[in-house]
Structure 1
Amino acid sequence: MPTQTFSHLLKPLQCTQQDDNKLRELAETLVVHNIEQYSSLKLTKNGAPVSKTRWKQVYKKESTKVFKDRATKSEPLEMPSLMLLGTVVGKLEDFMYAVVAPSTEAMRIKSTLIKDGVVDCKLLHNVARPTMDDPFHHISVKWCMFSEPEFRDHVFLDSTGIASTTTGERIGYHLTHSIGFDQIPNFTSCDVARCNMSVCSLYVQNTPSTVKIYVRGFFDFQQEGKYELINNATLNTIAAQWMLFPRQVECEDAKKLLWAIHKNNSRESTTKEGKSKLPMAPPTPGLCKVCSKSFGFLGTSRKFCQACNEQICSRCSVMKSAVTLALDQVTVVEKKRVFSSSSQCDLAHNVPQLHLSESDVTSLRELAETLVNHNIESYNALQVTSDGQADARQWKELRRKDGIRVFKERSAASGPTLPCIPSLLLLGTVVGKLEDVMFVAAAATDEQMKLTSKCLQDGVVDSKVVQSVVTPSEEQPFRHVGVKWRLHDNARDYVSVDATGFALSCKGERLGYSVSHSVAFSQIPSFDKFGVERANMSVCCLFHQKTPETVQCYARGFFDFRNELLNNLSINALATQWLRISRYVECAEMKKLVWRLRNDSGLPANGPMMIEPAEQRALEISRTDKSQDKGDSTAGCAVCQRSLGFSTCKICRCSVCSGCSVKKLVCVLAPDRRTMLDKKRTFCTACVCQVAKSAALAIAKDEIHERQPQDDESDAH
């Protein structure tokens, strides 16, 4: 069997204009024919061919299925055929960017990324090149060689582009159709069989974030009789390789990174040659470009993004595979490179905004109301001991912290063994006000969700509001109903309808509630290909002002992880996360501090900000200079008047000693509107006490009042 490559033996094709016209017409005819076949294909509800007698499923992975054509009495099988059907997360343009390969270098890089079995390839002739107006349209003649299960090569017409149907639907296509040229030698003497194929891939934007894939292929391996076993093995190998079609998204991501590196290198070389006339903004020394944090005294966490060449910290960097051709122009070199996390595509980017009808919005509003009423009834009917704890015969204590306890529901000791949905119960009290707790629970925007998760450390690594059903108002600032998506650190995500607000119990008690109940929408894709499992839950938290200084907390949750083996581990992890409810009041205090910092800085109540803006530092220096100019001999701690060990309060800008100052964690949205910045800052005890006593209800109203003009402005754009 051959171990060497043959691409260097192939010379460019010499084609006339007439040959190019015929190749162009052939490509157009084949693409139109395949689109007609796709349009006439009849599928079941689960996306499989209707004719099960003709199509046999041979491979399945996630939402992608590969079928093998079988002979029937009415339709004998003339040539082996395969068909692929499925959907993947992504955009049509991204897929076409990965599919098109207008050079030998692009072909080699694409094969390395997708791992489609190609061991050698070459572009022999260009018929139609991509243009600025149509960058995905490319027609060419190519050659490629496969090694499994036997060495074989193909000479084919390759055509890519985006077509439109009569209904205006855009379809991306990729055609590979075998053709013969006397100029191209075969390598049968080296045990490489020249085979024929005709494969067409079609891509349709199914939803705003998913692409439907259809692939149909015919194969002629030029071997009969005793080689029938080899033919079947080859067909099975091709079917297995087809399962890699969803990796086009990864290929597109890698090609974008490669393009970014190339642009960065070009910019650097231009600057070195002195040809650049644009001023380059100097980077802030010692600060990460993404999170604006320092790299520490030694700077060991400092890294440089290969795409933008900016300095970033280890927390804001990711390692990605970057591929390029080696010096021999044949071997593809793959190496891990450092990139900024802000340049990577996050999953939230693939979660589209829902555009629900009025009837759907009404149904969600009614569902939220029903869930709240049902959970309040369950809360009233809960049997507790004299000291306010759960009945030990029904509930087993899993976690305890301060005044919070988390219980797991015990399995029934008798009766038939039925599948049991894991359930948790939380009971306890926290020190604080009911409005402070609801100030944290009512997260109605992406920024508020990220800030709450960052402060509570509740295991949510990414989140998004995909539909607002009831938006908070100045009259009811904690009233909110919406559909949200959350990604947890255990590789699970949830799509749920969330509702927060106030209600009355049967005893007339004022209860704050927070409900999260899983719902399903076809517009929101699953991320199985990224290793993320879609789970279901139904959780309700109720809060009641038990005494003037304490809030009674109740939470009940049901979880369906779709994996019995991991249920216990997942439940224990969730029980630990539920203990974070004790930090609600602490989080409310942090949000109040941020609100006060924004007000004093003249910034809006919402949106990104720096934890310590340059304007504030300049103001602090200016005030210090003025104080020195006045010659104030009595300068000292603003609280106790001591004159030793000063720090500056970030709110009042007064100098305070270590005994009269505290460090508090401050979390804000970074300028990239994705990253949350968190850092401990110094405040005087007087300001902290004053901010803690400020009314959460008034601050929530102020945030809503400030947000309204911004929302209107963003809608206008």
Structure 2
Amino acid sequence: MPMLYPTDDKNMQNEMYPRMTLSDDSSENGIMSSTGVSGRNVMEKYRPAQVPMVFCTGVVPGTIEDAALGFFADTEERSRMRNSNNKDAVVDDMRILARIQGPTKDDPFRFLGVKWCAHSTSGAAGCFIKSRDYLIIESTGMALDLDGNRFTYMLNHSIELDEVPDFRKNGHVRIAFSICYVLRPHGVGEIDIFCQGFVDIGGKIPKRLSTYMFCDGLMIVPQFVEDAYAKKLTWLLRTQHFDNIVTYRELKDTDDRSRMRHNTNKDVLVDDIRMLTQIHGPTNEDPFQFLGIKWCSHIPSRTVSFVVKPRDYVVFESTGMAIDPNGQRFSYMLNHSLEIDEVPDYRDFGQVRIAFSICYIFRQREIDDKADTVDMFARGFMDAGGRFTVRIATSHNTFEAEASAARVIVAAVAARDL
């Protein structure tokens, strides 16, 4: 579980700013001298006085190689994929303005360059919070510490360029921030995470709220590791039909897999999810088949969680693959709300029950020689309950379809990358 530390914590400072041994040519005896790297001074120099510095550390499953693969984003497409892990923001545009260094055989996750990104707030909060943009220099890769132990890192630091002025006239508010991640092996299959940074989100958002959102954003490293797993698994499936990859992304026959799939919805945070019954599971003929009943409780994203009540739902879910009358394979996912006496609504506990029905169909696209492309069709409705306006509820349902499309894109890009 990640934890926040005071800024004067000595252990954190030692991990974030390890001492490096350098040769001192001016020394008479040629003895190696130890010099502290003052990375913190760089952050402190640019940190606004009213903005707090935040530290975070924790232990999560994975390897530093997986984390490095999750951090690595040397193209605009990969950068969009990585930024999609932030549930509070929707990437509107992403540009790599300069590539200074790229991957090498010794450091396949190396990247040093300048990026510009514009994003808007996800969900209903986007109606009253202005779009943001930022300009940063980014560095990722792996290195060796003084003891010869490997670690991976990612640094994002805001910069100013005359060629990229702020776009306030276009409704954007420029963000200034600096974040540094250092990840070290902790044990077998575990990694230590150390990170620190600050953010000046600009505009009229209270500093307390922006800091809270920033702290939460620092804790998305486990999602980067999950993305690395997905990329590797996708590569293994790449030798089969491409629609297998898409269907694999939709298969969620356990509580954990269901939570992972719901993480693509930027409007909500899964509070709890339960598999109430499993009627059918995967078979040799249909390895992605699932038929069962699920219950899920979720809370709105951080920006609107203060004014929107938590929601829950009970659904009948079916996923798998089939063949149409023309002999063409397709994959599908159906979610349909139902009522069960054993699972009453929990209005007394502050929950609002949602009713919805949605169906997805994915077909292999066989035109223009695009063997790695699928057509997606979605149809459905949703009653969000409570006092939501129909327009906002309908917009939310549209985001669900976009989230499913995003899963397809992630699978496709991962397949090409690996």
Normalising TM by the smaller chain, what interval?
0.3 to 0.5
Q: TM-score, normalised by structure 1?
A: 0.27
Q: TM-score, normalised by structure 2?
A: 0.45
* Structure with greater helix share of residues: 1
